[in-house]
Amino acid sequence: MLKAFTAEDGWPFAKYVGACGRFVVEEYVGPSLSDWLPSASSMDKIDAALQLLLMAELLTVGKSEFAMYWTDWSLFNIAVDQQHRLKIVDTENIIVVDLQKILKDRPEDFDVPYVSDNGGCDDSNSDPDCQSYVEEEFCHRLYHDHNYFAACRLLFHPADHFGLLNGLPSHIMKEFPSLAKHQADCYSSSPPLNRTEAAEHLISIFSMIVNR
């Protein structure tokens, strides 16, 4: 994975160093998000949230006619370098989809966007970390919102690791009154098909805040 989709080509992965047998060596990026977030400033957390959403966008939209779906989104599998750039350091659970093959084979509903609903998490209230998916749907659809779904499950988790639910300065909430709605829509996608649109709004808002 790290050799085929390199950091040098713009993919959000750690740099590949080498391999020996089944062991792969990659660069040391820095602390994991789980270790970095508790001491990060509010602005750094917003920037990290923006990077996560852009990461989800890149993996979903794809490059070179491939899309990727990461099934192990976790604060422990993303690291932060000295410039506060986020990189995926565990690429073991990434499904690579050939979009051209889907266009060629045209399976049933191939052009109908798939919306994640967490249907496999029967007790999601007691396990907010649960993220369900159906592997076959990744390979049968031109568009699947899993990456946005998983990223927003991290960003707007009830534990509020990023401080986006309860920790944002009041002036930001006043300036962007629709922010809470976009966060809720990205987390739960109710009504359906709102998640991608909500993620796009969040990218726009967070970009405006970070780039001032």
pLDDT of the residue at 178: 95
Q: Which amino acid is at 21?
A: G
> Do 131 and 149 form a contact (C-beta atoms < 8 A)?
yes
pLDDT of the residue at 128: 63
> Do 191 and 184 form a contact (C-beta atoms < 8 A)?
no
pLDDT of the residue at 205: 98
Which residues in the chain come in under a pLDDT of 50? none
| Neighbour-count burial for 103-119, b at 16+ CB within 10 Å, e otherwise | eeeeeeeeeeebbbeee
Q: How far apart are CA 47 and CA 86, in angstroms?
A: 10
Q: How far apart are CA 167 and CA 48, in angstroms?
A: 14
**What pTM value is reported for the model?**
0.91
Helix boundaries (H) for 133-191: 135-140, 146-155, 170-175, 179-188
| CB within 8 Å of 212: residues ≥ 6 apart | none
Q: How far apart are CA 27 and CA 55, in angstroms?
A: 19
**Separation of CA 94 from chain center:** 12
pLDDT of the residue at 87: 97
pLDDT of the residue at 190: 66
- To 10 degrees, the CA torsion angle through 66, 72, 73, 78? -90
Per-residue model confidence as pLDDT tens digits over 113-151: 888 876 566 555 556 667 778 888 899 999 999 999 999
